[in-house]
Structures are given as structure tokens and as C-alpha cells.
Amino acid sequence: MPAQTSPEDDDRADAIQEPAEERSVFNASRLSARLIYEVIRRDGEEELNRPIVSLIWSGLAAGVLISLSVIAQAVLRKGLPDTEWAGLVQSLGYSVGFMVVIFGRMQLFTENTITTVLPTVANRSLDCLRRMVRLWSVVLVANVVGAMIASGFLLLPHVIPGDLSDSLLSVARHGVEGSAAQNFFRALPAGILIAAVVWIMPAAQGNSFFIILVMTWLLSAAGFAHVIAGSVEAGLLLWHGEAPLGALAGQFFLPVLAGNVAGGTAVFTLLTWGQVKNEVAAS
């Protein structure tokens, strides 16, 4: 004969099941825009409070390792036939450096155009703005120094084979071509794409690899410009003696820097803040 259960026993059983059910519903549902914002805001607060020494070393590492994107492209370019579709496959190599840097949690300047801006916009304090400018300045300089070290090292004798060196320089020439105005406008979508990667990652649920792969592949395949990966390409041409520093800075680096910041901050970050600010203010 089945055991009799009292109403009190049923209530206790329901109470035990409810937390597990709530966790299952939460895990199965998509993160709301407000939750994504909160994840990135807290991450940004943590980054703003990091010591300068940590930022320098992390930024240097990111600048050096982003060169893997240029190396991988050169390897694919060397091995692919001269066809219309070869550029699409070659662009897959561009994702390599970004994967190492993003999964390695290294400081990449264009990521900070959203991560550290959200807490600054939310707090609206001079102290937060000061810390954001400090972080941007330190990370940008460290990234560029790391990129220049990597590009100089790649051109040392016997580091890479001669035929791969030719392919590397060919990739670099293609990456920095264009006038200052052209480079500014093709840097805008790149800033938006990298900011979009940062925004999507908290809701990736195990798909981070494919998100970074697709977004950075698109960045390269569409011919957009990224200031740090582009600094490796500009550094290769500078160390090789093909382009003077002034021309590279005026026609490529500064316009691309401005375009990445405008795309990542003025466009993407402020739009995402706009969709959550009323909810944040009401909480």
C-alpha cells in the first residue's frame, strides 16, 4: 500500500525542486541585454583597477602575439593558388592571433573601447574617466611596442624562410594600403566588430571559438582595418625599409586608430548603453 504523504511533505518537496527548476530555466534561456551589460561592466571595473605594470605586460604580450594573425595569413597565402576564392581562405588565418589574445585574457586596445567605456558611461565620474584614459594610453602604447618588436623579429635572418618572408611582406602591403580617409572609414566597421565580439561572448555558451573565428574572419575578408594587427603589418614595411614612419603614421596608424575608437565606442558601445540605460536606472 503506497505511503501517505501530508500537505507539509508536498510543500517541502516543491521547495526543494524549485531552485533546481529555476537554475534549469536560467541555463536554458538567453542572457538579457541587461545581464550582458552587467557582465561587461563588472569586467571593465576590474580592468580599470588593475596595476599599470600588469597592464603593460599584458598589452606587450597581446601586441606580440597578434602577429600570429599576420603569420598565419602569410602561410595560407603562400600555399594557396592564385584564384578569386583564395583570399577568403587566407582570411581564416587572421583569426589565429585574436583567438590567442582573447582566450588568453590579454589586453587588446580595441576590446577596451567597450569594456572600460560602459562603467565610465554608467558612473559618469572624473575618476572613472581618468582611469579609462590611463588604461587606454598604457594598453595602446604596449600593444604597439609589442607589435613593433614582433615585426622586427620576423624580419631577422633565418627566423622565417625567404619565400614565406615574401608572402609576409605581401600581406603587409595589402593590409596598410589606402589613403588616410579610406583607412579611417574601413576601420569603423572593424571597431564595431571587435566590440560586438566582446558583447556577444558572455552569452556564447561554449560557442566562443566560432564567434571569434567568424567575426575576425569577416574583418579580414571584408578588408577592414585593425590598428594593432595593422601595426604588425606597418612594422614589417617600416623595418624592411619600404615605407617611412611619418607616412605610415599619417596615412595608416592614426586614421585607423580614430576609426576603431569611433566604431567601437561612439557607435557600438553607446548604442548598447542606450538599450539598457533605462533598465539600469530603474534597478
For the chain, the domain total comes to 1
| 230 contacts 178 by C-beta, under 8 angstroms | no
- DSSP 8-state secondary structure symbol assigned to residue 156: S
Average pLDDT on 38-52 reads 89
What pLDDT, on the 0 to 100 scale, is given for residue 113?
A: 77
Tell me the C-alpha distance between 40 and 250, whole Å: 33
Does the residue 65 lie in any domain?
Answer: yes
Q: How confident is the model at residue 121, as a pLDDT?
A: 81
Q: Is residue 18 part of a domain?
A: no
Q: Please count the helices (runs of H) and the strands (runs of E) in the chain.
A: 16, 0
Domain that holds residue 86: 31-282
Are 202 and 39 in contact by the 8 Å Cβ rule? The answer is yes
Q: Is residue 4 assigned to a domain?
A: no
Whole-angstrom distance, CA of residue 129 vs CA of residue 133: 6
Q: How confident is the model at residue 266 (pLDDT cuts 50, 70, 90)?
A: confident
> Of the ranges 14-18, 111-115, 218-222, 264-268, which one carries the lowest mean pLDDT score?
14-18
The model's pLDDT over 4-38, given as tens digits with 9 standing for 90+, comes to: 555 555 555 554 455 655 554 445 456 788 888 88
Domain-embedded: residue 36: yes
Which CATH number do you get for residue 47? Answer: 1.20.1080.10
Q: Is residue 197 situated within a structural domain?
A: yes
Phi, psi (5° rounding) for residue 50? Answer: -70, 150
- For residue range 98-120, list pLDDT tens digits in order: 999 999 999 999 888 788 888 88
The answer on pLDDT for 261 being more than 50 is yes
Residue 10 belongs to a domain = no
Look at residue 1 in the predicted model and tell me its pLDDT.
Answer: 46
If residue 19 lies in a helix (H) or strand (E), which one and from where to where?
A: helix 7-28
Cβ(235)–Cβ(150) below 8 Å: yes
> Is 168 domain-assigned?
yes
Q: Which of 271, 263, 266, 95 is nearest to 184 (CA)?
A: 263
What's the pLDDT score for residue 111? 85
Q: Is 245 helix (H, G, I), strand (E, B) or coil?
A: helix
Is there a domain that residue 7 lies in? no
Q: Which of the listed ranges 27-36, 112-121, 158-167, 249-258 does the model predict with the highest average pLDDT?
A: 249-258
Residue 2 has pLDDT above 60, yes or no: no
The structure's pTM equals 0.85
Average pLDDT of 143-158? Answer: 95
